[in-house]
Chain A
Amino acid sequence: MTALSPQSALAQSAIETRSHTTERLHMAERADTALLRIHSLDERPGAAAPFADWPCRTGASLGDDPAVLCLRPREWLVLSERLAPEALYQRFASGVAPGATAVFEQSDGLAVFHLSGPAAPWLLAKLSGLDFLAGADGRPHCARTRIGQIAAVVHYRGPRRRDFELIADRSVARYLWELLIDAAPHATELSLSGWGAAGDAE
């Protein structure tokens, strides 16, 4: 048996440079994020911890690592940078209500991009119709939305971690990355307007 090494979503689609850093914008692929998608036939995947206090309102999110995002009623996305995919799976696959819950490993299915810096909300505003400049309180915690021509999940980490994660199907990672790179200069220019800066005051 050979150890077959994993390849990131951008590496898979022949993108060599997988991060982009300027004074006002940092973007990078987070290739090592472990992800799960959980479906339940009932309101929650289980009654006991860790599910008792799960976010059940669409767009709500909970926790830092692992972070739990409620994508819609009875569907969640779980992200962790700390845990390996197997460990994350084990943590949530045990304890779910049998027969009424499905836990799908998604570390291979999804690509994760991290965006930060003052140009990041403008970058998202160029690609999506959501309001990313409303200030911390007005922003969604997570939202599945249209980015360019694909659906992606935007996860806002909140004012403590003023940054965004962008999660999309692995197969379209290159499309998404090229959109982001292409939109970056204008987003940077727009961020100099100062518009919305008050909402970010900490």
Chain B
Amino acid sequence: MSAARLPDGGLIDRSRPLRFRFDGREFEGFEGDSLASALLANGVRVVGRSFKYHRPRGIYTAGEEEPCALVEVGEGDRRVPTCRAPTVPLEQGLVANSQKGWPSLRFDLGRVVDFSHDLWPAGFYNKTFTWPSWEFWEPLIRRSAGLGRPLGGRDPDRYEQVNAHCDLLVCGGGPHGLLAALIAARSGLRVILADQDWRFGGRLNGEQFVLDGVAGAAWADAITAELESLPNALLLRRAVATAVYDGHVTTLLQQGDDAAWRECLWTVRPKRILLATGAIEQGLIFPNNDRPGVMLAGAVRQYLGRYAVRPADSAVVATNNDSGYQTVFDLAERGIAVHAVVDTRDQVRKSLRRRLRDAGIELLAGARIADTRGGRGLKGVRIERLGGADLGRRRCELLAVSGGWAPRVQLLAQARGGLRFDPATQAFLPDRLPAGLSVVGSARGIGPLADQLARTVRTAREVCLALGAAAADVKPPELTASIVESETVAPVRPQESKARQWIDLAHDVTFGDAELAVREGFVSVEHFKRYTTAGMSVDQGKTGNLNALIVLAALTGRQTGEVGVTTFRPPYVPVTLGTLAAQHTGERYTPRRYLPAHTVHRALGADFEDYGWQRPDCYPLQGESRSDAIHREVRAVRNGVGVFDNSPIGKLEVQGPDAAAFLDRFYINDVPSLRIGRARYGLMLNENGVIIDDGVFVRWAEDRFLVHTTSGGVQRIGAMMEEWLQCEWRDLRVLVDDLTPQWACFTVAGPRARETVRALGTDIDFDPGALPHMAAAQGSMAGLPVRVVRVSFSGESSFELSVPARRGAAFLDALLDAGEAFDITPYGVEALMVLRLEKGFLHVGTDTDGSTTPDDVGWGKVARRKERDYLGRRSLFRSGNLDPDRKQLVGLEPLDPDRAMRPGAHLLIGDSRQPPAPTDGWITSAAYSPTLRRHVAMGVLRGGRAHLGETLTASDESTHYPVRVVHPVFYDPDNQKLKS
């Protein structure tokens, strides 16, 4: 084997050699090479192992359809598994590795599978690994499967996303895509042209076409240059359209150079789409058709013409259509000995026979490859008549095969276009086109390039007119020199043989697997695919699906058109998950909201936690544990004064002549009776009668309310109010706006809260007579406009002070200064949760779930007393909501005062029951109360209020302990402190 570089030609820059490494060995290629072409030029034949049997595999194609040459590129944590070698541009210092066997390269366990392949038929996994369980076998099987290793740890690569709009998106930058894009761009339309390759031109880059007197590649370069000079054309290289969605939205996956970014996902919203995606050559089915050295005939021409690679010294060409003959001539022209042309057809065009005869190349018509040999690379083939008569052996290192051409219809099918089977070319062709989508070139079906180009010009001009542009007058290029082109393809037929004949190289699916599937009744195309897994590997069967359908048709005595195709689903090529996430990872995974006084909390040493907002959980002092800090903060509020940042609390402004009537339809509580300057606690339900939010609402004026929602509920509740206002109650004159971020809000709570707020300097009368519990006022404090609401979630006398957000940090500083004399203590969410639990205050979402009604939490009387309708009221009277055995909120305390309780522990009524048993409820909130010096909890219990005073069993995983049902208010039950 002396595969090497041809002395001249090709689109490589011989003045720019590039060093690279494959499987630890140093090689050299050139600028312009792909990894695959560079490996071929260096005589590397085996580049990987197959998925199931771990058979040695070589390079089969020259494009993204590659089923065999799947390699790892890069090193360490930047290693990318399962790259298709033909699509990897060679770079200086590139490191690639074959995806090795397991446990080691020397002893590849998978080879055992190959030697014992009769034991591993289709459906093998479903049938065999049932004992002891699939979970037992799965890791072993996964490790020995040959599709690369996943990365550990965090992916250091960058991934990008971008959106684009255009009039016309052209997918595919071969001759037709280029021509169509040029016409559209010259017509003044905004055009995006995307191609998977790093250079435009498609097959022109490797074939010997001459257009308008210049070589195909040069013609493509000229159009590329013109398009690049136009501001209304955007050219995207190494960008594959992966999916077409509703409304023509198309995603493109673009490969980067890794230095800046690795992959970019384009979401394009074109007015129209033009598919110029070409066709994929299919293989032939014959025994041992998978050896390294078996290559698609069109790929051979690309390696010869584009990369100037001499892939072998000797070759045989097997085909069922005319295009294979061009490979013969291209090989012969470069001095490669073609030992035979094997054509399954009896009749071969006279002109081709004559050219072969002139070149002294043997033609075997009506013949097929009967077998191949060569363990680590093809050494020769055996040929026979279709009837079976032996035609002898030929030595060859390369077997170029052509089994016809499958138009790339995947995107069309995703867009719900129709397909029909064309017996003349043995392919599924576009039939019914969806609105706004056109197809040109070989994607419509193979044919002479000259005819196709003329048609492309017509189609492109029609598209321009449809987009309202005056279509530019562009003539189709004249074909100065052409190549042998196929107009028809003979059917592919598998043969009777004991040897394996692959129909899916990537997933190691053989003709035998297909026979078995049909024998076992999997004759529907979708069942057949799943049972054999044909077409389900990373390549999605691009070079084999058509043959699989033809095989299925033959085995079931149907026409291929009757068998149909499986559903084409996105993506067309594999998309890295990192690309879908792009920059929305880490800090940017979800929006983090920052408090106006964040920097003050940070200086105070707060432990932050994300509650939708970054909020202080607690403020541990030097050397203090979190729980000690929480308990200290609770005691400070109970005995002195604390300050809590309550800025995230929802602040909806509701105004207008009908504001009171409007809010009255949301709350179970009475709204119109609320006096100006007063506040009221309320619950909101959904139409099922379930509590969805709670909070205090304030009446500033007859027609002006401030609605406090939970901090997590403000957007949801604001949107709900908008929906009812806009859709259902259009007669109400009400305005709703969310002013949450406008205000910083601080709760000053505790017996010394009043002294603290007065020390700030204010014109507001904080006297309990002037500002009692649940009253509100506006005025100034520390020179700032301030709103005060006397509400309490801690159970202490407390003041909620709101100031404009930009001065939130400075105001908190002033508050801390003013409170220094009273030993003011900042407290966090954790301490607040303990305080409210001691006081028995409900926390919606913690003590309630998606089934909790007002009655379940002790608000039944209020909900029933209000006679006017409000959202969810009617549902409270549905039988399920009247059941006395509903889960009701109760207080719980352990019989052993030192026993800590945990939310989630199940409750069992009666003191002797043990799990397993149906649950009677569970603990929803629990904490150690530093105030009461014992553990307290709340929970929901079946018929809970009827069990007051009883002892229950709490069951927490494997521990069980007795708890007593009590009233849920543990602290200050008569509200002395609250109202002081």
Chain A interface (Cβ within 8 Å of chain B)?
1-8, 11-14, 37, 39-41, 99-100, 102, 104-110, 122, 125-126, 128-131, 133-134, 148-150, 169-175, 178-179, 182-183, 185-186, 189-190, 193-199
Contacts and interface: CB of A to CB of B under 8 A. Distances in A.
Nearest to A15: B594
B160 A126 contact: yes
B602 interface: yes
Given A6-B806, A14-B594, A133-B165, 6 more contacts: A4-B782, A99-B657, A102-B737, A171-B595, A179-B583, A183-B583
A133 B162 CA distance: 12
Interface of B: 160-165, 190, 228, 231-235, 260-261, 264, 267, 269, 583-584, 587-588, 590-599, 602, 613, 648, 653, 655-657, 703, 733, 735, 737, 739-743, 761, 782-784, 804-811, 814
Contact of A8 (B165, B587, B657, B806): B806
B656 A11 contact: no
A178 B878 CA distance: 50
Determine which residue in B160, B235, B743 has the highest number of CB atoms from chain A within 10 A of its CB, and name it. B160
A148 B591 contact: yes
B739 A4 contact: no
Nearest to A126: B162
A173 B708 CA distance: 23
B741 A125 contact: no
Contacts of B810: 4-7
A179 B742 contact: no
Contact of B264 (A108, A169, A186, A198): A186
Given A41-B735, A99-B703, A195 B231 contact: yes
B584 A172 contact: no
A4 B587 CA distance: 31
Nearest to B744: A108
B761 A1 contact: yes
A102 B735 contact: yes
A44 B784 CA distance: 32
Contact of A185 (B260, B596, B735): B260
Contact of A108 (B161, B583, B761, B806): B806
Contact of B598 (A12, A128, A194): A12
A178 to B, nearest CB: 6
13 contacts: A6-B807, A12-B597, A41-B735, A99-B657, A102-B653, A102-B655, A109-B743, A126-B160, A130-B163, A131-B165, A149-B591, A170-B596, A178-B587
Contacts, number: 163
Contact of A172 (B163, B235, B591, B657): B591
Given A102-B735, A148-B584, A3 B804 contact: no
B267 A129 contact: yes
B804 A186 contact: no
B596 A109 contact: no
A185 B256 CA distance: 13
A195 B775 CA distance: 60
A6 B807 CA distance: 5
Contacts of B584: 148-149
A39 B737 contact: yes
B739 A104 contact: yes
The 7 A-B pairs with the shortest beta carbon distances in the complex, nearest first, are A109-B742, A13-B594, A4-B810, A198-B231, A6-B806, A171-B593, A131-B165
Nearest to A199: B231
A170 B599 CA distance: 15
A39 B735 contact: yes
A186 B806 CA distance: 33
B261 A198 contact: no
B588 A4 contact: no
A161 B921 CA distance: 64
A148 B743 CA distance: 24
Contacts of A173: 594
A106 B162 contact: no
Nearest to A187: B162
Given A106-B742, A150-B591, A170 B805 contact: yes
Contacts of B261: 186
Given A4-B784, A126-B160, A186-B261, A104 B737 contact: yes
Contacts of B742: 104-106, 108-109, 170
Determine which residue in A107, A109, A183, A193 has the highest number of CB atoms from chain B within 10 A of its CB, and name it. A109
Nearest to A13: B594
Contacts of B811: 4
Contact of B741 (A126, A170, A175): A170
A169 B741 contact: yes
Nearest to B612: A171
A70 to B, nearest CB: 15
A69 to B, nearest CB: 15
Contact of B588 (A7, A133, A148, A169): A148
A182 B598 CA distance: 23
A12 B809 contact: yes
Nearest to B614: A13
Contact of B592 (A3, A108, A174): A174
B739 A171 contact: no
Contacts of B588: 148, 175, 178-179, 182
B501 to A, nearest CB: 47
Contact of B782 (A1, A37, A134, A148): A1
A131 B234 CA distance: 15
Contact of B161 (A6, A126, A172): A126
B256 to A, nearest CB: 9
B805 A193 contact: no
A3 B805 CA distance: 15
A12 B596 contact: yes
Contacts of B814: 2, 4
Determine which residue in A102, A106, A128, A197 has the highest number of CB atoms from chain B within 10 A of its CB, and name it. A102
Given A2-B814, A105-B804, A171 B234 contact: no
B656 A108 contact: no
Contacts of B163: 125-126, 128-130
B593 to A, nearest CB: 4
Contacts of A170: 596, 741-742, 805
Contacts of A125: 162-164
Nearest to A124: B163
A185 B591 CA distance: 21
B591 A109 contact: no
Nearest to A14: B599
A110 B733 contact: no
Contacts of B164: 125, 133
A11 B782 contact: no
Contacts of B735: 39-41, 102
A156 to B, nearest CB: 15
A196 B232 CA distance: 6
B653 A104 contact: yes
B162 A186 contact: yes
A40 B163 CA distance: 35
Contacts of A1: 761, 782-783
Contacts of A122: 162
A7 B807 contact: yes
A189 B260 contact: yes
A171 B741 contact: yes
A14 B761 contact: no
A171 B733 CA distance: 30
A32 to B, nearest CB: 10
A189 B234 CA distance: 13
Contacts of B160: 126, 183, 186
Contacts of B656: 41, 99-100
A40 B599 CA distance: 37
Given A149-B590, A178-B587, A194-B231, A129 B805 contact: no
A5 B648 CA distance: 22
Contacts of B592: 172, 174-175
B339 to A, nearest CB: 50
A6 B784 CA distance: 11
Contacts of B808: 7, 12
Given A4-B783, A108-B806, A197 B741 contact: no
A183 B161 CA distance: 9
